[in-house]
Amino acid sequence: MNEKLGEKEARFLEKARQSLMATEDRIEANTLSRLRDFRVRAVEAADARGRGFFRIPNWARIGGVVTAAAAILVFMIWFDTPKQDLPVKNADDIEIVLNVDSADNIDLYEDLDFYEWLAGTGNGGSSS
């Protein structure tokens, strides 16, 4: 018997085996023959299903599907993130943005309404 089984389990299995063997002696020959035939067919069907050159176990199929789904999700997140434009387009603008303490920038913010109006009128256009 299995060494991992305890003493109680070993006794239980031995009693169950003896009981089944005693029951087998009381079964009719016709019924016993049919049971043996069913067993043989079941074993053959299980062997036939397990054979094949390109047989992939179910756990491998499920693992493959999960791996493919995770790869697609990572690909979509990695390559489909929207690219945000930087507020500064060229090197001259970086100097203006970084130089917050200069007096020119303070004047720019004080006259911000004028610059917004100027941008709204366009180049040489008339205001409404």
pLDDT at 41 over 80: yes
Rounded to whole angstroms, the Cα distance separating 41 from 47 reads: 10
Distance of alpha carbon 13 from alpha carbon 5, whole angstroms: 10
16 and 54 co-located in one domain = yes
d(CA 53, CA 62): 19
Structural domain that includes position 100: 91-121
What's the rounded Cα separation, in Å, for the pair 20 and 63? Answer: 41
Report for 15-29, 41-55, 78-92: range of highest mean pLDDT = 15-29
The reply to whether 2 falls in a domain is no
The number of folded domains in the chain is 2
Instruction: Classify 52 in phi/psi space as left (phi over 0), alpha (psi -120 to 50) or beta.
Output: left
Same domain, 108 and 52: no
68/100 same-domain check: no
Per-residue tokens: 18 = 């003896």
Pick the more confident residue, 83 or 27.
27
- Which residue matches tokens 């069913």? 38
Domain co-membership, 68 together with 11: yes
Pair (75, 14) in one structural domain: yes
| C-alpha closest to that of 108 among 119, 77, 65 | 119
Place of tokens 């130089």: 99
pLDDT of 96 strictly over 80: no
